[in-house]
Structure 1
Amino acid sequence: MEIGALADWAEAGAELLAVCVALFMPYYTAYKAKKHRQRNLQLVLQRLVQAVLEGQPDSLKTLDIFLKISFLSNEDANNDELLLTGNQVVALYADQTLSAAARQARVVQLMAQVQLPVTVKAPTKN
């Protein structure tokens, strides 16, 4: 019984490998793109919330607009918690009954729940 030349077997193995790569490469690139979008959302949310905590002008409005646009273009259920946390931060700043210290403490707590650290800078003495 003859099993064929070694070159034929090597060619068949290479073809099988090429087919596997061609079939699974789109799934892998989509997975990497999804992770990249989630990382970008985390970074931007963290920076915008930090700007709100620092009291930078128009930072709350920018955060609100960013969240609305991100919510409309969101296709990943894993990003829902980040977007809801951002909306809770905006709602906290809309609530005028809270003191500034309580509001800042609650924002830091909310961001810690989604593992995005933000800091509140202590007021400087003049």
Structure 2
Amino acid sequence: MEIWSLAEWVTGFAEVLAVSVALFLPSWERRRATREKRLRTLRTIRRLTPRLLTLPATSDERSGDLRMLQTFLMVTDMMNIDPGVEDVIDTGQQIASMVHQGQPVSDHDAAAIRALLDSLPSS
């Protein structure tokens, strides 16, 4: 029985490694992209929601932030094909629906919004 040379062993190992990377890299990239989308959505909701609760109801800044949140959620929802991001979008839409243009947020709605924010995952 003949034992292969070191060069043949290294070549065989390199081929196995190349095939493994080729098979698993797309899956890993897809998971990473989904995680990034989820984090971006979480950051946007967490950044805009406290401002919606604290800015005066009739301020142009609050109106702009509400429009920005609604537009962001709508576009993200239309482009989303990942179930990992869907629950975050749904929570953001619930928050946006509780804030009405030109009207102050009631104490009851503010508490519900804070509870929704707390229910969002940390990452």
Aligned to 1:38: 38
For the pair 1:68 / 2:74, whether they are aligned, the reply is yes
Pick closer, same or farther for the CA change 1:22–1:11 going to 2, 3 Å.
same
What SS does structure 2 have at the residue aligned with 1:94? coil
Q: Deviations over 1:43-76 (max 9, x none)?
A: 0111121221122432222211111111111111
How far residue 20 of structure 1 moved from its aligned partner, in angstroms, is: 1.2
How far residue 90 of structure 1 moved from its aligned partner, in angstroms, is: 2.0
How far residue 6 of structure 1 moved from its aligned partner, in angstroms, is: 2.1
Pick closer, same or farther for the CA change 1:21–1:115 going to 2, 3 Å.
closer
What SS does structure 2 have at the residue aligned with 1:108? helix
Aligned to 1:27: 27
Q: Percent same amino acid at aligned positions?
A: 27
Pick closer, same or farther for the CA change 1:109–1:39 going to 2, 3 Å.
same
Higher RCO (CA 8 Å, separation ≥ 6 residues): 2
The runs of at least 4 consecutive aligned structure 1 residues that moved more than 6 Å come to: none
Listed as ranges, the gaps of 5+ residues in structure 1 are 117-126
How far residue 4 of structure 1 moved from its aligned partner, in angstroms, is: 2.1
Aligned pairs for 1:1-126 (under 5 A) are 1-55=1-55, 56-58=61-63, 59-94=65-100, 100-115=106-121
Note the aligned Cα RMSD (angstroms). 2.4
Rounded Cα–Cα distance in structure 2 between residues aligned with 1:37 and 1:91:
22
TM-score normalized by the length of structure 2: 0.80
Listed as ranges, the gaps of 5+ residues in structure 2 are 56-60
